Amino acid sequence: MTFSIIVQARMGSSRLPGKVLKKINDMPMIEIILKRLSLSRKVDNIILATSEKQQDILLSKFVKELGFEVFNGSENDVLSRYYWASKYYDLKNIIRITGDCPLVDPSIIDEMCNEFSTNNPDYLSNIFPRSFPKGLDIEIFSFKSLERAFNGTQESSHREHVTPYIRESGKFITSNFDNDNDYSSLRWTVDYQEDFDLIKYIFNKFEDNIHFNWKDVLDLEKKEPKIFDFNKHLK
């Protein structure tokens, strides 16, 4: 069974514009995400899926120069962006990652790929319900499931958020990957400046090593819990 990652990202965030190219220790956040994902042992290729807007063409150029594949599609119909990217690159099983998760951990991806291969559901995630920190979000689905969703719904919320039709229609076999302990109250995603400041602090603690794992961050949180408090008010 083969797996490919599609990272959805664009420059036009309403809450933190241009966040994917904001630098952490002189490295743009999207570069950190792609390089961390590259350590997955189960993934064959990694593709950035962004929009066709001019500001995202600049993002595309940067990512191509890093050596990654890029697909430009609809800005708001992200389901179609995933579908046409998957069709263009002839993908079989897709791992959905969003560009606001710089701490995404390839070891969790590999574990989930193993579970997906063993149980063969239509859809597997670690967020419904969530037991990992917010910001380690991973969804895996087959191209056949993606195609059924693409053809099966025109609801705007389904098209924007890619997977609701797969999760909610009752027409798919879905499964969840649970952690033994519940860390769902922890917020490691980047939506606001406070989030970015926390993530930047975390990476600074590990200096030049961008490949620390999520359990290293848990250890840091135990040592310096107050640092992790200042974005907890965000939802």
CA angle, 54 as apex, 8 and 200 as ends, to 5°?
50
On whether residue 158 sits in a domain, the answer given is yes
pLDDT attached to residue 28: 97
Euclidean distance between CA atoms 203 and 137, whole angstroms: 19
| Entry pTM | 0.96
The answer as to whether 235 is a domain residue is no
Is 131 within the bounds of a domain?
yes
DSSP 30-61: HHHHHHHHTT-SSEEEEEEEEESSHHHHHHHH
- At residue 232, the pLDDT reads 83
Q: Is 74 inside a domain boundary?
A: yes
- Please check whether residue 234 lies inside any domain of the structure: no
Helix 214-223, helix 193-205: angle, nearest 10? 100
Residues spanned by the domain of 61: 3-229
Query: Has residue 193 been placed in a domain?
Result: yes
b/e map of 143-175 (b: 16 or more CB within 10 Å)? bebbebbbeebeeeebbeebbbbbbeeeebebb
Show pLDDT as tens, one digit a residue, over the chain (235 residues).
Answer: 999 999 999 998 888 999 999 999 999 999 999 999 999 999 999 999 999 999 999 999 999 999 999 999 999 999 999 999 999 999 999 999 999 999 999 999 999 999 999 999 999 999 999 999 999 999 999 999 999 999 999 999 999 999 999 999 999 999 999 999 999 999 999 999 999 999 999 999 998 899 999 999 999 999 999 989 888 888 7
Domain tally, the chain: 1
The enclosing domain of 12 has a CATH number of 3.90.550.10
Q: Is the distance from CB of 128 to CB of 121 less than 8 angstroms? A: no
- Tell me, yes or no, whether 159 lies in a domain: yes
CA 138 to chain centre: 6
Q: Is residue 12 part of a domain?
A: yes
